[in-house]
Structure 1
Amino acid sequence: MTAPGAPVLRLGALGFDRGAHLLVRRTLDGLRPGEELAVAGGDPALAVHLRAWCRTNGHGMREAGPGEPDGVRARIVRGRADLDRRTGAVRAGGPGPGGVVAHPPPAWGLAARGALVEAGGPPGPFDLTDRDHVWADVAPALYARAAASQWDPARAVDWDAPFVLPDEVERAVVQVMTYLVENEQAALVVPARLLARVHPHFREVLQLLAVQAADEARHMEVFTRRALLRGGEMGTSSAGGRESLHTLLTEPDFSLAAFLLSVLGEGSFLSLLEFLEHHAPDPVTRRVTALARRDEARHVAFGVAHLHHRSTVDPALRGRLRAAVERRHDALQDTAGLNQDVFDSLVVLAAGEWTPEAIARGHDAVAGLRAAMDEGRQRRLVHLGFPADEAAELSALHTRNFM
């Protein structure tokens, strides 16, 4: 017998070969899982077709027995709400950040979060499929901020601003810009490599990494353009500097890569860019370093937030972070560290003039820059749960090449 109060769908002579499933599906849309729908109709094959359709779409079905009223041929029990009514596909979490699941199946592949994923598709080539290995709760807000803060190099910088610099000062600017381009290229490659490995279910992380890579591409453009603005040639790229950056490119672990690049490296670069903005000898240099610093602050914020999130669920993480710093230090201990040309150029920019007193001030300013970098690294390490003495020790092991 049909349950009292169960709705009855009357199909008349309409069969599944002529679209009856559209009416069945539409009626079931208004029911909750477990509720019943009685189906009446005159098509001879109705019960056969209805049974096959219900099996495919995750609903229960029973043919009518004796005593069913009003020509009812079958009774359907509405299936689970997270199953597709046509294919039985499972819904891939919820569309918003609150709908992120901890371990999205590889078979979800490129399906949008919240979509109904039909079975049988190819698994995605993503190995970062654990939420806690890539996530930070601030990722959606950081992405929204990043998207709203994008700037056009052609419009955001007055490339025609008038200025005249002594040749030695211009060469110092060019050398520093050359160094920045090299480091920004590494800072682009790292998130780009990670981006391709993250399960698309964590779309805010993908979006943030994509914007981060776009930021670095833009920084490469403006630093290169400033270096060549007065018709000079690019400066020196040191072997030690490239060796230091190479250790960032070869770190396979998402959290360790974020730690070495964003927390320690780009964190140190925040101080460097602030230094360059303050000591810039011309308006173009001042503008491009200020714009880049705003972008880099978001990169650092995500790295810190991600590591703080992961450390709350993985107490052993700090031990691995320490080991990563020590491993990188050991790999670089025989390299020369910061390019001497870069160091001297920073001194020249901070000095502002060619007198013994000014050069001494410039040298002291660069020493102050290094102290500011160290203080910033220690502060972020303490925020991640390291004791102050251990934070100081780890900060001291950071590469002499800054990044």
Structure 2
Amino acid sequence: MDGRAPALAVHLGAWCRAEGHRLESPAPGLAEPPVAVVVRGDRDDERWMTATRAGAPGDVVRRPPPEWGLAARGALVEAGGPEPMFDLDDRDLLWADVAPRLYAHAAARQWDPAMAIPWNEPFQVPDEVEAAVVQVMTYLTENEQAALIVPARFLGRIHPHFREVVQLLAVQVADEARHMEIFTRRALLRHDELGTSSAGGRASLFALVEETDFALASFLLSVLGEGSFVDLLAFLERHAPDPVTRRVAWLAMQDERRHVLFGVAHLAQHAKADPKVRDRLRAAIERRYDALRDTAGLNAEVFDSLVLLAAGGWSPEQIETGYARVQRLEADMDQGRRRRLERLGFPADEAEALSALHTRNFM
């Protein structure tokens, strides 16, 4: 076969690959060399004899080779294709046995912000309490923006062989996008402006965003930050002054629990395969603590707003009760962090010390 169309070789090559034939270079020495030579092939030719399976559909290998690339797990991979590099390609770093079940749960539990929340349900709260809700929702939105960026930046680096992990993190990104929407919408439900964003809070969140190591980022975000965030959302659901705030907190809490579960599960398997990873996790907490040592932590507006929401009013007795409830919240956050650290293999006394170093900004 010969031809003179400039793009013939490109299109012919694609056709040959699809049909199992081989495209050869023109034979040298011809006065008018052909553009291409097609050699008829079948599934017994060398190209197919060197094809390999990308594992089995239900089997996750330790380290998939680059040549599997974007092939579906279990597919027959023809030799000669591109070999994209996915630097996150180690099962011990990424995988958790619970990942497929968590993804199935996450896919089944997606909800529509417009339908799942009673935005139009009437309620009355004092102006100062509504202002506290606005400030807390502003704070939550800021935190969720960071919680979206962290998993999103790793998605393109994970080998597609670990597809359930990719799917789970993609849903996590979608979860955080919904949380940003509902927190912002609740803040603006009765007010025209959002609350205050503190410099210390942004510094704390940026320490999460700039972490480029997958294990450390997952540890700081999911095990420590989002774990404490679950306690905060439970607190808000319990003390919400209106049905919209209560529903917003409850829905976000269900999603965040799933994020924490995956973070703890895959890091526990990682630590079991490589006990030295705990040294890196410990160092990550200490580095972040040192970096944020001179920041103010949780801004006063957010703290005072939490006290007021828990108090339900301005009387001295109510404020005293609200303050005690926020102190209890911080103790619950500490206990939760210690339990998760112990799950990763840290001794109880070390878990206590490391939890105490966690950012005062909660996330």
In structure 2, C-alpha distance between the alignment counterparts of 1:124 and 1:221, rounded to whole Å: 35
Indicate the residue corresponding to 1:327 in structure 2. 287
Partner residue of 1:270 out of 203, 214, 230: 230
In structure 2, C-alpha distance between the alignment counterparts of 1:169 and 1:49, rounded to whole Å: 78
Amino acid at match of 1:266: E
Q: Does 1:172 align with 2:132?
A: yes
Residue pairs, 1:338-349, within 5 angstroms:
338-349=298-309
Residue pairs, 1:202-221, within 5 angstroms:
202-221=162-181
Distance 1:111 1:363, change over 3 A: same
Greater Cα shift, 109-118 or 273-282: 109-118
Q: CA deviation at 1:49?
A: 7.1
Q: CA deviation at 1:120?
A: 2.0
In structure 1, C-alpha distance between the alignment counterparts of 2:265 and 2:192, rounded to whole Å: 41
Distance 1:312 1:52, change over 3 A: closer
Indicate the residue corresponding to 1:69 in structure 2. none
Partner residue of 2:56 out of 94, 104, 109: 94
Partner residue of 1:56 out of 44, 47, 54: 47
In structure 2, C-alpha distance between the alignment counterparts of 1:218 and 1:307, rounded to whole Å: 26
Q: Does 1:150 align with 2:107?
A: no
Amino acid at match of 1:332: L
| Contact persistence 2:215–2:267 (CA under 8 A) | yes
Q: CA deviation at 1:384?
A: 1.1
Indicate the residue corresponding to 1:190 in structure 2. 150
Residue pairs, 1:82-121, within 5 angstroms:
88-96=50-58, 99-121=59-81
Q: Does 1:222 align with 2:213?
A: no
Residue pairs, 1:40-51, within 5 angstroms:
none
Q: Deviations over 1:307-326 (max 9, x none)?
A: 11001110101111100000
Indicate the residue corresponding to 1:236 in structure 2. 196
In structure 1, C-alpha distance between the alignment counterparts of 2:40 and 2:153, rounded to whole Å: 50
Q: CA deviation at 1:55?
A: 3.1
Q: CA deviation at 1:57?
A: 2.9
Amino acid at match of 2:154: L
Distance 1:111 1:347, change over 3 A: same
In structure 2, C-alpha distance between the alignment counterparts of 1:209 and 1:167, rounded to whole Å: 39
Q: Deviations over 1:247-302 (max 9, x none)?
A: 11111111111110000000001110000001100000000000000000000000
Partner residue of 1:245 out of 186, 190, 205: 205
Q: Deviations over 1:127-166 (max 9, x none)?
A: 1011111111100000001111111111110100100111
Q: Deviations over 1:350-378 (max 9, x none)?
A: 11011011111111111110000000000
Q: Deviations over 1:206-235 (max 9, x none)?
A: 000000000000000100000000133100
Distance 1:332 1:52, change over 3 A: closer
In structure 2, C-alpha distance between the alignment counterparts of 1:50 and 1:109, rounded to whole Å: 24
In structure 2, C-alpha distance between the alignment counterparts of 1:52 and 1:247, rounded to whole Å: 53
SS at match of 2:160: coil
| Contact persistence 2:222–2:259 (CA under 8 A) | yes
Indicate the residue corresponding to 1:378 in structure 2. 338
SS at match of 1:390: helix
Q: Deviations over 1:46-99 (max 9, x none)?
A: xx97899533332xxxxxxxxxxxxxxxxxxxxxxxxxxxxx321101112xx1
Greater Cα shift, 380-389 or 173-182: 380-389
In structure 1, C-alpha distance between the alignment counterparts of 2:40 and 2:109, rounded to whole Å: 56
CA RMSD, 1 decimal:
1.6
Gaps of 5+ in 1: 1-21, 23-47, 59-87
In structure 2, C-alpha distance between the alignment counterparts of 1:304 and 1:378, rounded to whole Å: 12
Indicate the residue corresponding to 1:257 in structure 2. 217
Distance 1:399 1:89, change over 3 A: same
SS at match of 1:205: helix
Higher relative contact order structure (alpha carbons within 8 Å, sequence separation ≥ 6)? 2
Q: TM-score, normalised by structure 2?
A: 0.87
In structure 2, C-alpha distance between the alignment counterparts of 1:243 and 1:337, rounded to whole Å: 9
In structure 1, C-alpha distance between the alignment counterparts of 2:337 and 2:78, rounded to whole Å: 47
SS at match of 1:368: helix
Amino acid at match of 1:91: R
In structure 1, C-alpha distance between the alignment counterparts of 2:327 and 2:349, rounded to whole Å: 21
SS at match of 1:202: helix
In structure 2, C-alpha distance between the alignment counterparts of 1:151 and 1:234, rounded to whole Å: 25
Give the number of the structure whose alpha-carbon radius of gyration is greater.
Answer: 1
Distance 1:138 1:50, change over 3 A: closer
Partner residue of 1:292 out of 244, 249, 252: 252
Gaps of 5+ in 2: 1-18, 20-38
| Contact persistence 2:47–2:79 (CA under 8 A) | no
Distance 1:348 1:50, change over 3 A: closer
Q: TM-score, normalised by structure 1?
A: 0.79
Distance 1:52 1:332, change over 3 A: closer
Amino acid at match of 2:47: T
Indicate the residue corresponding to 2:270 in structure 1. 310
